[in-house]
């Protein structure tokens, strides 16, 4: 049976979904599950939680081991799930928000693009390269299932600069069409969706039921929807550019130059944009954890139902050679013909015993490809900065960011980047 290694296992709730799913999957039930985290307390909590699920739902068939030695956790692994967050809420997330705010640059999530996404990448890529070196030595045939953001940049680092078999996985694709239809009081049963683009800015290219195009009715209802709600940025993008985007409005508000603007502060209220949303979530999660610990970690009768996370379905398809379709983040080897070949794209992929085989999509509508390229520019320059350790490329990435460049002068962008580098200190390698 396979060995599944989970890096960042102190992410207890996410570990519950991915590894709980694995414990409920026949082809994975007798796996060795290797847990690794630098936080030993949270590591132990995740182990206790999974042992409860293993006993209650799986007859104790899996072998669950917590490791403080990463190399031992990786040795002989068949699958490596990555869910780390380098720098955590304090100090790094606080830095990602507070320094830009001094320059008048406001963010919502700051984990994918923008100045926050750039610096989250730069402090995470060196750790990922350490993982890759260990994997190339200790488990060279393992698949690396990356859930850590910034998805496109980190997956790109693994695919461009290592020999590790890697696919990036996100939660937003599976729920895109169902959540859109639910918000418009339309049933989702029998709906077929085609989605492609880049992570957090992939596009619902087709949405049909029994061959009928649902987009005309979707757009009619979206335009008629009254009152404030959480999908207003995505509705506006669908109105202006013709297609619905996979990731949430609070995310996309900061990937674009149109919505968070100091010159037009009324837009934040008009489109119901939650500035500083991610720090609020972090504070709430920290405050709620004591109660959640009792419900999740210390509940000896804890059970689990298989979630919509892709990881267990991918491992099952590889183990059984029964095909399964996902949307994965992979290198653009001619898959989307009007996006750069160096980019990581999010496209339909077939998974079976031979691995992950991406599907050809062809051209995106021109306006959608153009929007994607504005984000890809930042991703590729951030990768270049991490690869070369040249500070100039950090400036370039920030100067090309749609939101940052719409708000700040070139001089202020340089100054802000310098302040961010200084504040991150030893969380970053030395740039020249």
Identify the weakest region by mean pLDDT among 116-130, 150-164, 283-297, 417-431. 283-297
User: Of the residues 169, 204, 239, which one is the last residue of a structural domain?
Assistant: 169
Identify the weakest region by mean pLDDT among 58-67, 186-195, 292-301. 292-301
Claim to verify: residue 95 and residue 135 sit in the same structural domain? no
In this prediction the pTM is: 0.97
Q: Is 171 a catalytic residue?
A: yes
Claim to verify: residue 80 and residue 228 sit in the same structural domain? no
Claim to verify: residue 156 and residue 238 sit in the same structural domain? no
User: How far apart (Å, rounded) are the C-alpha atoms in residues 50 and 20?
Assistant: 7
Q: Is 56 annotated as a binding residue?
A: no
Assess if residue 300 is contained within a domain: no
How do residues 146-194 score in pLDDT, each as one tens digit? Answer: 999 999 999 999 999 999 999 999 989 999 999 999 999 999 999 999 9
Catalytic residue among 160, 171, 229, 304: 171
User: Of the residues 151, 169, 187, which one is the last residue of a structural domain?
Assistant: 169
Claim to verify: residue 155 and residue 262 sit in the same structural domain? no
Angle at the Cα of 192 from the Cα atoms of 190 and 193, rounded to 5 degrees: 145
Claim to verify: residue 245 and residue 389 sit in the same structural domain? yes
pLDDT of residue 395: 98
pLDDT of residue 341: 98
Q: Is 170 annotated as a binding residue?
A: yes
Q: Which domain holds residue 8?
A: 3-89+109-169
Q: Are 225 and 235 in contact (CB under 8 A)?
A: yes
Claim to verify: residue 347 and residue 393 sit in the same structural domain? yes
Claim to verify: residue 49 and residue 146 sit in the same structural domain? yes
Assess if residue 390 is contained within a domain: yes
Claim to verify: residue 119 and residue 10 sit in the same structural domain? yes
Q: Is 17 annotated as a binding residue?
A: no
Assess if residue 287 is contained within a domain: no
How do residues 73-131 score in pLDDT, each as one tens digit? Answer: 999 999 999 999 999 999 999 999 999 999 999 999 999 999 999 999 999 999 999 99
| CATH code of the domain in which 121 resides | 3.40.50.720
pLDDT of residue 294: 86
Claim to verify: residue 38 and residue 179 sit in the same structural domain? no
Claim to verify: residue 48 and residue 73 sit in the same structural domain? yes
Tell me how many domains the chain contains.
Answer: 2
Claim to verify: residue 182 and residue 102 sit in the same structural domain? yes
How do residues 307-330 score in pLDDT, each as one tens digit? Answer: 999 999 999 999 999 999 999 999
User: Of the residues 169, 191, 213, which one is the last residue of a structural domain?
Assistant: 169
Token pair 């009619």 is at which residue?
Answer: 220
Label residue 32 by pLDDT band (50, 70, 90): very high
């Amino acid at each position: 049976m396979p060995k599944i290694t989970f890096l960042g296992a102190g992410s207890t709730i996410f570990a519950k979904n991915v590894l709980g799913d694995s414990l409920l999957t026949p082809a994975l039930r007798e796996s060795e599950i290797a847990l690794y985290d630098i936080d030993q307390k949270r590591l132990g909590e995740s182990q206790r939680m999974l042992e409860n699920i293993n006993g209650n739902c799986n007859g104790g068939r899996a072998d669950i081991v917590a490791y403080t030695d990463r190399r031992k956790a990786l040795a002989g692994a068949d699958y490596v799930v990555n869910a780390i967050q380098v720098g955590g809420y304090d100090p790094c997330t606080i830095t990602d928000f507070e320094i830009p705010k001094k320059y008048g640059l406001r963010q919502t999530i700051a984990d994918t693009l923008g100045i926050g996404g750039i610096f989250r990448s730069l402090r995470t890529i060196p750790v990922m390269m350490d993982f890759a070196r260990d994997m190339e030595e200790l488990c060279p045939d393992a698949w690396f299932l990356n859930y850590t953001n910034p998805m496109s940049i980190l997956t790109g680092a693994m695919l461009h600069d290592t020999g590790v078999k890697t696919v990036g996985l996100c939660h937003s694709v599976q729920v895109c069409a169902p959540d859109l239809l639910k918000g418009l009081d339309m049933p989702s049963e029998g709906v077929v969706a085609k989605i492609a683009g880049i992570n957090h800015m992939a596009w619902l290219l087709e949405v049909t039921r029994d061959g009928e195009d649902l987009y005309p009715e979707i757009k009619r209802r979206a335009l008629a929807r009254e009152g404030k709600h959480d999908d207003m940025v995505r509705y506006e993008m669908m109105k202006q550019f013709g297609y619905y985007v996979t990731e949430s409005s609070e995310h996309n508000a900061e990937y674009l130059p149109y919505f968070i603007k100091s010159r037009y502060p009324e837009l934040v209220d008009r489109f119901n944009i939650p500035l500083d949303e991610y720090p609020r979530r972090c504070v709430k999660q920290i405050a709620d954890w004591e109660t959640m610990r009792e419900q999740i970690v210390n509940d000896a009768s804890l059970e689990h139902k298989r979630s919509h996370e892709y990881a267990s379905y991918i491992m099952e398809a590889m183990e059984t050679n029964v095909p399964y379709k996902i949307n994965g983040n992979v290198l653009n080897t001619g898959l989307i013909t009007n996006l750069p070949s160096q980019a990581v794209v999010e496209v339909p992929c077939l998974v079976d015993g031979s691995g992950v085989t991406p599907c050809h999509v062809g051209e995106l509508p021109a306006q959608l490809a153009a929007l994607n390229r504005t984000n890809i520019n930042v991703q590729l320059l951030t990768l270049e900065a991490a690869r070369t350790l040249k500070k100039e490329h950090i400036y370039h990435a920030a100067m090309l960011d749609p939101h940052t460049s719409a708000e700040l002068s070139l001089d202020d962008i340089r100054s802000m980047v310098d302040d961010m580098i200084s504040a991150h200190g030893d969380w970053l390698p030395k740039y020249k």
